[in-house]
Structure 1
Amino acid sequence: MTFSLDNSGMSTRALEIADRVEAFVRNTVAPYEKDPRRTSHGPSDDLAVELKEAARKAGVLTPHILEDGSHLSHRETAAVLIRSGLSPLGPVACNVAAPDEGNMYLLGKVGSPELKERFLTPMVQGKMRSAFFMTEPAEDGGAGSDPSMMLTTCRMDGNHWVINGRKTYITGAEGAGLGIVMAKSDDGACMFMVDLPDPAIRIERVMDTIDSSMPGGHAVVTIDNLRVPATQMLGQSGEGFKYAQVRLSPARLTHCMRWLGSCIRANEIASDYANRRNAFGKPLVDHEGVGFMLADNLIDLKQAELMVYWCADVLDTGVLGTVESSMAKVAVSEALMRVADRCVQVMGGQGVTGDTIVEQVFREVRAFRIYDGPTEVHKWSLAKKIKRDWRKAHES
C-alpha cells in the first residue's frame, strides 16, 4: 500500500483482522473486478454469494462483528472497513456493505432478542441482505433530506400495523430478505422490521444511477396495505427518528471508511501509471502538473483518514456524534471526490475507461457526496448549531 494508514490505538486482534481483509481483497476479490456479473445495478446475487463464500472460507466474513456478537471499536472497525474498500467488491464480499452494515449495527444495538435471532443472525452469517426504507419520491413531496416530510403512514389494526406509501432510492430492495421500513403514525415516526419479499411491497422499477457497487441497485417502491405484526416495531410508536439516528450517524462514518479504501486503491493505480508512462522525454510523475496532483492526493487521503479516526474516537466514547459525523461526511466525501477526479486526470484517456477501477471509483464517490445526506444539508445543519451555540453564549 503506497499510502500508509495509521495503526495507533488498535488492538493486535483488530490489526490481524485488518491484514487478513486486505490480503483477501487484493488477492481474491480484485480479480473479480472484470467479472461480467458486475452489472449497472450492482453485482448480481450469485456473484455476491460466491464472494461471500470465499470470504467465509478465508475467515473474513463480517469481520468487525466477533464470534460472541460483540463489535470491534469504531476506530478498529475503520481499520477493517478501509481495507475492505480497496476493491468496490470488497465490502460486498466481506459482508460490510451498505445498507447491511448499518442495519446490522442498528439491530445489534436496539433489537429485541427475538428480532436479533430472526433477522440479525442470518445477516451476520451473510445469508440475508436487507434494505432501509426511508427516502420518498420528490414528486410526491415526501421525505428526502428532511425526514419530517415523511408521507408514508402506519395505523393500528388489531395486533398489526398497516403501512401505506411510496419509497425511493431504496438500496438493495430487490433480493432483500429484511426491510427496515419507516412510516408515520399519529405519535410520530415509527420503524418496522419487515419480512421480504412481501406482495404488499411492489418494486416499481430499479433506477439507472451513476454508481454500481451495491447489490440490487436502488429501487422505487410502492407499499400498499402492508400488514406488520406489532411485535416487529422497533421500540415504541413515535420513536422512529431516535432509532434512525442510532443507525445513521455511524453509517455515515462507515461510508467514509469504505470509500477511503477505494480512493487509496485508485491512487495506487494512478501513481503506478504516472511512474510507468512516459511523455515529453520523462515519466509523467516528473511533470509538475502530474506529480503535484498525486502529492495533493496524499494530503487529501491523510486528512480524510484523520477525520475518520477522529469521528470514530468520538463515537467510541458513547456519544451519538451527529455533529462529528456530519463534519466527517462533508470533509471526507469532498476530499475523496478531489482524489478520484485527480486519478482520472492523471491517467488521461485510460482513466475514463473500464480497464481499471478508477472510473468506477470516480462514479461511486460522486454519488457518495449525496448519499446519507448531501454536503449542503450537513453544512446547513452545522450552521444551525453555530447559531444555537452563539445564542446560548450571548443569552447567558
Structure 2
Amino acid sequence: MDLSISPKAEELRERTQKFIREQIIPLERDPRQDKHGPSEELRKELIALARQAGLLTPHASIEMGGLGLSHIEKAIVFEEAGYSCLGPTAMNIHAPDEGNIHLLEAVATEEQKERWLKPLVSGRTRSCFAMTEPTPGAGSDPSMLLTTAVRDGDDYVVNGTKWFITGAEGADFVIIMARLEDGSATMFLVDMNTPGLELVRKMDAMDNCFTGGHAVLQFTDLRVPAKQILGEPGQGFKYAQIRLAPARLTHCMRWLGQARRAQDIAIAYAQQRQAFGKQLGEHEGVGFMLADNDMDLQTARLHIWHTAWLLDQGVRGNFESSRAKVVCSEAEWRVVDRCVQILGGQGVTGETELMKIFQDMRGFRIYDGPSEVHRWSMARKILGSKENK
C-alpha cells in the first residue's frame, strides 16, 4: 500500500479545502437551519456553490456527471468536505444520497438511472433509504424485516412502517426494503408523492446536520410497478451490503473532518486562553489531551485509507469496514469529547461550532450499525473461517 497522495488527489484536496473555508464555513450560522437540519432553500444555494466550484457529487462516475473518485480519493476529499457541517450537503456527498448514488450506479437499470439517478447526481433531487422499522421490525438485525410487498398483476402492494428515515421530508424518492411472499427481501424505487406513502411525522433527534431530518414513513396499500424493483427480486440484503460497506466508510471520512475541526478549535483556544499564570495548552492535562487527539485522528485516518485501498483493489472489505466503523466512530468521538473539556464553559455553548459537532457526532456510533453489532459480527468472522470475511 502506497501512502503517497497522487497529484490529482492533492489538487482536489487543496481545491476542496479552499472551497470549504472560503465559501461554506461563512454560511454555518445561516438562519435557514433548524433542529431538523438545513432548509431546502439553503441546500440549493450550497449545491449551486459546489457546482460552480466543480466539486458537486465528486464520487459519482464521470459518465453520470461526477469526478469518478476512487475510494482513496474519496477519503481525502470527503475529510476536507466534512471540516464544515455544511460541506457534505454542499458537495452532495451527505447521507443518505451518497450511499444511494453508489447503489443506483451499481444496480439500477438504464431507465431507472435516467429517471432517478441523474437528477440525484446533479443535485436537483434528494432521496432517502427506508429499511429501519419500529419494534419488532428490522433494525440492526435486517432479518426482522416486517414491511411486505405482495404481487398483484404488474404491481406490488407494499404495507409497513419505517422510522429513523434520514432526509425523508423533502425527498423526491425513496428506496424501500420490503419482504416478498417467499420471505426474501427486495428493494423498490418509489416517488415520495405516490398515493399510499405517508410521511407521518418528523422525529426529534440529537443531530441537525441532515436536510429533511429523520422521519416516520407509513406505507398503506402502496402500489409499485414491478419495473420499479431495484435490481433483481429477492436480492435486497445482497444489495444492502453493496451500499452499506462503502457508505459506513464514507461516514468515517466525513466525521474525521468534523473531528479535525474540533481539534483546531481546541488548539486555538489552548493557545490564547490563560490560566494559572500560563497559556492553557502549557498545562500537561490539556497538552496531553491534544496529543491524544492527534493520535486518535491519525489512527482513524489510517483505518479509513487502508479500507479504502482494499475496496479499490476489488476486495469486499466487509470485515475491514466494520473494523474501521468502530475504530473511527469511537476515536473521533473521543477527540470531540476532549475538545469540549478543553474549552470548558465555551465547549457546552454555541459560542463555537464545537457544541454542534458534539451533538451531531454522538449518533455516528449508531448510524450504519452500532459498535456492538460490528464487534459481534467481527467476532463471528474471527472465530469462523477467513472466507466469511
Alignment of 1:161-200 (within 5 A): 161-187=156-182, 188-200=184-196
The SS at the match of 1:34 is coil
Partner of 2:72: 75
1:39 aligns with 2:34: yes
Q: Distance in 2 between matches of 1:124 and 1:235?
A: 19
Partner of 1:372: 368
Paired with 1:9 and 1:183, the residues of 2 have a C-alpha distance of 44
SS in 2 for 1:214: coil
Structure 2 contact 330–365 (Cα < 8 Å) conserved = yes
Percentage of matched positions with identical amino acids: 54
Alignment-derived partner of residue 241 in structure 2 = 245
SS at match of 1:192: strand
Residue in structure 1 matched with residue 124 of structure 2 by the alignment: 127
Instruction: Pick the aligned partner of 1:159 from 154, 159, 170.
Output: 154
- Could you tell me whether the CA contact under 8 Å between 1:203 and 1:221 is conserved in 2? yes
CA contact (8 A) 1:41 1:212 kept: yes
* Aligned with 2:145 (options 150, 163, 172): 150
CA-atom RMSD in angstroms: 1.6
Q: Is the 8 A contact 1:179 1:196 kept in 2?
A: yes
What amino acid is aligned across from residue 205 of structure 1 in structure 2? R
Distance 1:9 1:76, change over 3 A: farther
Equivalent-residue separation in structure 2 for 1:112 and 1:228 (angstroms)? 16
Query: Does 2:305 align with 1:334?
Result: no
Q: Distance in 1 between matches of 2:34 and 2:366?
A: 21
TM-score by length of structure 1 reads 0.94
SS of 2:207's partner is: coil
1:238, CA displacement in angstroms?
A: 1.1
Query: Contact conserved, 2:83 with 2:261, CA < 8 A, in 1?
Result: yes
Q: Residues 356 and 7 of structure 1: is their aligned pair in 2 closer, same or farther, counting only changes over 3 Å?
A: farther
- Give the 3 Å change call, closer, same or farther, for CA 228–10 of structure 1 in structure 2: farther
Shift of 1:10: 3.6
State the SS of the aligned residue for 1:228.
Answer: strand
- Number of aligned residues: 385
Aligned residue type for 2:104: L
Match 1:224 to one of 220, 237, 243: 220
8 Å Cα contact 2:134-2:162 kept in structure 1: yes
For 1:36 and 1:197, locate their aligned partners in 2 and report how far apart those are by CA, in whole Å. Answer: 28
- How far off is 1:390 after superposition? 9.1
Is 1:211 equivalent to 2:207 in the alignment? yes
Unaligned runs of 5+ in 1: 1-5
Contact kept, 8 Å, 1:176 with 1:197, in 2: the verdict is no
Report the Cα distance in structure 2 between the residues aligned to 1:323 and 1:310, rounded to whole angstroms: 12
Using the TM superposition, name which of 231-240 and 208-217 deviates more.
Answer: 231-240
**Cα distance in 2 for residues equivalent to 1:390 and 1:235:** 29
Which residue number corresponds to residue 275 of structure 1? 271
